[in-house]
Amino acid sequence: MQKNAILYCFLVSVIIYIDIINASHFEGGTITYKILNKSGSIVSILLIQTYIYDYTKIACNNSMIANQSPSLYFNPAAYQENNETLNCIQYCNQSGGYIAPGIVSYCTDYSVSLGITVGQRSDIINITNGSYFLVAFQGSNWRPLNLYQSLSWSVSCLISLVLRPDGSYNTPPVATIISPIYIPVGIQQKIFIPTIDADNDQVRCRFANGTNECGGVCPPGSLPNGTIIFSNCTLIITGAKANDWYAVAIEVSETQIYSLYFISREHLIL
């Protein structure tokens, strides 16, 4: 299967943390795209960014969702989103006229009990046919991790408009799973990550690695000892201590990264 689109996200936090300027508010996300149409040498894609934030810092309500207005508010004195764009970070000489969209999104969901706000934005981007490049939203505003001191992260997407052997464009797979996931202490959990691939390609998983894929929160350092991922996208993890927060970044079919955060508790909460 041709390597086509890499997406990775990670949600990391510690339940008790120190609230400081530029403090953690970002809890992960995904970046993906869909092919819309082709006109001559130009391909139009719908680039979709979905990010999760700390609800206590980035507010959302039912009116914002219903009206898709206003956009999420980020205090410019504390957070970087206002001036950030989804930049090309690799293979940029093959980016085909890519113009980076902004990061600030509109609220699509929130949960007071989970303490999260979900924002999403979609931008139509026109790119030259045959382009192949990596884009990312990178920063350092995560909540502190129990097993990792670095707060840097990278949510990335490899955009490939290289035609497959059958003359079609590849459609990136999508990981469909809700996070956060609560896991019990000392009890091994088997978590299957559902995936969807519109091309019916074979989907495989592995841990993310390197600066572009997971920033400063890469496995195995971000996970309890003994955590493994099988190629069939089954994650085996055991919570080490109550109230720990763990990050996991997983690459799916060499095309997509989806990351979650896990919180060790005494009882499993679905």
Q: What are phi and psi of 249, to 5 degrees?
A: -115, 125
Mean pLDDT of 7-25: 34
Which single residue is written with the structure tokens 């092919």? 35
> How much is the pLDDT for 247?
74
Decide if 136 contacts 155 (C-beta within 8 A). Answer: yes
| Res. 211 pLDDT band, cuts 50 70 90 | confident
- pTM of the model as a whole: 0.80
Tens digits of per-residue pLDDT, 241-257? 887 877 777 877 654 34
Question: Does residue 3 lie within any of the structural domains?
Answer: no
Decide if 226 contacts 236 (C-beta within 8 A). Answer: yes
Question: Does residue 10 lie within any of the structural domains?
Answer: no
Q: Pick from 145, 123, 114: which is nearest to 48 by CA?
A: 123
> How much is the pLDDT for 269?
27
Query: What residues contact 197, with CB distance under 8 A and at least 6 apart?
Result: 171, 173, 174, 203, 253
Question: Does residue 11 lie within any of the structural domains?
Answer: no
Three-state DSSP state, 93? helix
Question: Does residue 103 lie within any of the structural domains?
Answer: yes
Question: Does residue 270 lie within any of the structural domains?
Answer: no
Q: Which two tokens stand for residue 100?
A: 């980076």
Spatial separation of the C-alpha atoms in residues 29 and 10, rounded to whole Å: 6
- Total tally of structural domains belonging to the chain: 1
Q: Pick from 215, 156, 130: which is nearest to 5 by CA?
A: 156
Question: Does residue 12 lie within any of the structural domains?
Answer: no
| Domain residue limits at 216 | 26-265
Tens digits of per-residue pLDDT, 232-242? 989 999 888 88
Question: Does residue 21 lie within any of the structural domains?
Answer: no
